[in-house]
Amino acid sequence: MNADSSIREAMKRLPLRALGEALAGVEAYLVGGVVRELVAGRGPSRDLDVAVAGEIEPVLDRLGAPARRHARFETATVTLDGIEVDLARTRRETYPAPGALPEVSPAGIEEDLARRDFTVNAMAVPLSPPHHLLDPFEGRADLEAGVLRALHDRSFVDDPTRAIRAARYCSRLDLDPDPETLGLIGATRLGDVSAARHDAELARLAAEPSAPRGFALIAEWGVMAIPEPVLALIAKVDRRASAPPWDADPPLRSRAILIAAEGGESSKAALSLAGTRPERPSEAVRLASAHQPAELLLAAAAGCEWIDDYEREWRIVDLEIDGEDLIAAGIPEGPAVGAGLRAALERKIDGGLRGGRDRELEAALEVARKAI
């Protein structure tokens, strides 16, 4: 089966009925990552990018689904049958300054593909049969050869975050930049874009299954200075996050990797926590409760031996009594109530308070009365 036949077969499996009806008679194309995945013979993603050669408002009206509109770029996002679809008018882009957001104007599909970042992302498949692949920049050949190639020499000047994106694609798809693209990446100035755009692209990289390799690449290419110990810590987070108790919350992994990569105050706090040796479980709970979950995962990856016990057992210990019970027993509202409850909870966490509700109340009242 040739590539076009494979794409046609894959197109049949995509949930495009409602979209196809809304786009009947309209020139429209699948573009972006879904086409790259189809060409590579992988299963299509759950999100689709569609380029429309014309105004998208009539299409949105026919779809009748709630849409998030982005008027500046003539784009919108809708959810159809559980699939998120990004609709965009085919356009050309110009950049008034390095790193600035582009100014857009309508254009045909070939110009739309030419404005993109890399050849492997500059392919399109018409939504209307026979679904022949449009590949004006030989993205399929580059994908098969394992090459990441920038579309033009100003690519990383116009949008420096493409250097981070390059690491994401290379690590995910096992690609290598061609020499010219590698030279352009090395000259990238991330400082030309806002911190918000820079951080958003790093967050996408952190969420990749191949994130450790991606961060190693941006360090190797000189895009960001990431010390070797930090890269090693990112790899440890990746491994630690795949095991209990951390694997129950997958987003923790990407947040912890991002904290490690950025090396800011959260990273320092997590590494400081990793060096602590609490004498009792209740002391461990006090230490851990001052940190967000991603910092705890980072501390665990950095070698903190007690964090897993905290996560599995100690943090979920709770009292059967509450403040109303102490007040009913004669303790006036105020700090004494809190002091009594805290003392009882710490004793229970440390395993020294058994006997249920009555024993908890007795222990809490003992401390609360002294605190009045």
Instruction: Enumerate residue ranges in the chain where pLDDT < 70.
Output: 1-4, 15, 43-46
CA–CA separation, 332 and 327 (whole Å): 6
Residue type, 267: S
Residue type, 289: S
What residue ranges do the domains of the chain occupy? 3-144, 155-262, 323-371
Pick the CATH number of 3-144 from 3.40.50.150, 3.90.580.10, 3.30.460.10, 1.10.287.130: 3.30.460.10
Structure tokens at 360: 């908890």
How many H-runs (helices) and E-runs (strands) does the chain carry?
A: 20, 10
**Cα angle 113, 119, 121; round to 5:** 65
How high is the pLDDT of residue 1? 44
The tens digit of pLDDT for each residue in 29-76 reads 999 998 998 888 776 666 889 999 999 999 888 888 888 888 777 899
How high is the pLDDT of residue 82? 78
Please indicate, yes or no, whether the overall pTM of this predicted structure exceeds 0.85. Answer: yes
Contact 78, 87 (CB under 8 A): yes
Class of 155-262 in CATH:
mainly alpha
Question: Residue 174 burial (CB < 10 Å; 0-12/13-18/19+)?
Answer: exposed
CA–CA separation, 91 and 112 (whole Å): 5
The tens digit of pLDDT for each residue in 90-130 reads 999 888 888 888 888 999 999 999 999 999 999 999 988 88
DSSP 260-279: HHHTSHHHHHHHHHHT---S
